[in-house]
Homo-oligomer: A and B are copies of this chain.
Amino acid sequence: MRLSRYFLPVLKETPSEAQIASHRLMLRAGMIKQASAGIYSWLPLGFKVLRKLENIVHEEQIRAGHVPMLMPTLQSAELWKESGRYDAYGPEMLRIRDRQDRDMLYGPTNEEMITDIFRSHVNSYKDLPLTLYHVQWKFRDEIRPRFGVMRGREFFMKDGYNFDLTKEDALHAYNRHLVSYLRTYERMGLQAIPMRADSGPIGGDDTHEFLVLAETGESEVFYDSQITELTFGDREIDYDSVEACQAVMEEFTSRYARTDETHDEAVFAEVPEERRRVARGIEVGQIFYFGTKYSDAMGATVQGPDGKSVPVHMGSHGIGVSRLVGAIIEANHDDRGIIWPEGVTPFHVGIVNLKSGDAEADAACDALYSAFVSKGLEPLLDDTNERAGGKFATMDLIGLPWRITVGPRGLKNGVVEVTSRRTGESEEMSPEAAIEKIVGIYAAL
């Protein structure tokens, strides 16, 4: 993309309404614009990141054997009356009446609807196991929306639902989700720690929240510092293997890590003192096993191997996709702006032309631009007439991991400058070497 043809309305001033870094930086970098309280338009740069996260979520869910579909945003109140949650949900549910005076609502989650789909079509244990998921806009009418996309009212979420014959099978689905989530967050450049949590209005016994450590997190968390040394890395996993998934689950949940809702001072005291940590975290996902709560209430049964009808065991599993954009920024920024992890950066490399209009500089920039495009990377070329200082400030603000600076002086010596946004270190090299270096970095992801 050439900046002269893009829509990147960066702000010079820090917006006064933004209290946390990610909100400030998303506004300043022209990623979002508030449409109403807690409701945002995703401007081109923001949308690009959101879409990348959505694609990573899809890839990892499909890898785990889960099946994508899409449920609508608006739901009939009927199903929620059946489960008993219509009255229980409270004022965070946005209730709507349509022109025929039917009670509708903007879905905050989809347990009822997916259970209805399941019971309409599945009758036999032979069709299990089954995990269906979607990535769709949700709405929760928060009384005090704030922190930008971190606590918005309209938000983009992946929610998945497993249907299994037995509790054991459902716990395997639980573990499969845990593994797939670890992979998902790591690909986004995040360390998200599974912590024992409270199930809240979804119900159920087994649940873990995934938390990204950040000073601005809404939850107080307590953990054994050993857990931060764990990474899933590039190990292969067979998602069909009960033992393999169970082993990962145990590895990542056997150390103390809890939110304040489930924190137990006595158990925490057993962790060696030098490893006890109290910090704040941002919740970016949650997995639940809730047994037959919804299948009982809504009659979602299958015929088992013995011919008897049994309610299916279910769980639900969510990733907050829009909130993740904020969480990634909370965990990756400095005074000058955002620092995107390579896995989610909106553009792979920024090219700054120090002297737009200079024939040689323009040609060198165009050649770099075309070379990256031909290698399947997306460069952002600042071909505007702004002065160099302004161009650097914009590149730092929007946080592309790599910048190539092209100017007439360097070109005389056959070099351009390659700068890492994270370390700030610069290196001069030939344009060919710069291409090779950056293409290599992304190829290794």
Residue ranges of A at the interface with B (Cβ–Cβ < 8 Å): 5-7, 9, 30, 33, 35-37, 39-44, 46-48, 50, 65, 67-76, 91-92, 94, 96, 98-100, 102, 104, 106, 113, 117, 120-122, 127, 130, 132, 134, 137, 139, 141, 143, 153-154
User: Known contacts A35-B76, A99-B141, A143-B99: does B154 contact A67 (CB below 8 Å)?
Assistant: no
* CB pair B65 A154 closer than 8 Å: no
Chain B nearest CB from A89 CB (Å) reads 12
Chain B nearest CB from A64 CB (Å) reads 11
* CB pair A44 B72 closer than 8 Å: no
Chain B nearest CB from A310 CB (Å) reads 20
Interface of A is mostly: mixed
Partner among B7, B100, B137 whose Cβ is within 8 Å of the Cβ of A130: B7
Which residues on the B side are within 8 Å of A104 (C-beta)? 36
* CB pair B41 A67 closer than 8 Å: no
User: Known contacts A47-B68, A94-B96, A141-B98: does B9 contact A75 (CB below 8 Å)?
Assistant: no
Given contacts A5-B65, A39-B74, A42-B69, 19 further A-B contacts (CB under 8 A): A7-B67, A7-B130, A9-B122, A35-B76, A36-B76, A40-B72, A41-B69, A41-B71, A43-B69, A44-B69, A44-B132, A47-B134, A73-B154, A74-B106, A74-B154, A92-B99, A96-B96, A96-B106, A137-B137
Q: How often does this chain occur in the complex, in copies?
A: 2
* CB pair B98 A70 closer than 8 Å: no
Q: Which B residue's beta carbon lies closest to that of A79?
A: B35
Chain B nearest CB from A445 CB (Å) reads 19
Q: Which B residue's beta carbon lies closest to that of A137?
A: B73
Q: Which B residue's beta carbon lies closest to that of A6?
A: B67
User: Known contacts A44-B68, A47-B70, A67-B6: does B139 contact A36 (CB below 8 Å)?
Assistant: no
CA distance A130 to B43 in the complex (A): 13
Q: Which B residue's beta carbon lies closest to that of A118?
A: B7
Which residues on the B side are within 8 Å of A42 (C-beta)? 69-71
Interface centre among A37, A41, A104, A121 (most CB of B within 10 A): A41
* CB pair B67 A132 closer than 8 Å: no
* CB pair A72 B132 closer than 8 Å: no
Which residues on the B side are within 8 Å of A9 (C-beta)? 120-122
* CB pair A41 B70 closer than 8 Å: yes
Chain B nearest CB from A239 CB (Å) reads 11
CA distance A44 to B98 in the complex (A): 28
Chain B nearest CB from A78 CB (Å) reads 8
CA distance A47 to B67 in the complex (A): 10
CA distance A220 to B345 in the complex (A): 48
Which residues on the B side are within 8 Å of A154 (C-beta)? 72-74
Which residues on the B side are within 8 Å of A33 (C-beta)? 117, 120-121
Q: List 8 A-B contacts (CB under 8 A).
A: A7-B121, A33-B120, A39-B76, A41-B71, A48-B68, A73-B73, A94-B96, A96-B106
Interface centre among A7, A9, A48, A117 (most CB of B within 10 A): A7
CA distance A94 to B94 in the complex (A): 13
* CB pair B113 A41 closer than 8 Å: yes
Which residues on the B side are within 8 Å of A50 (C-beta)? 70
CA distance A35 to B73 in the complex (A): 10
Q: Which B residue's beta carbon lies closest to that of A7?
A: B67
* CB pair A74 B130 closer than 8 Å: no
CA distance A5 to B40 in the complex (A): 37
CA distance A395 to B142 in the complex (A): 47
CA distance A48 to B30 in the complex (A): 32
Chain B nearest CB from A95 CB (Å) reads 9
* CB pair A7 B72 closer than 8 Å: no
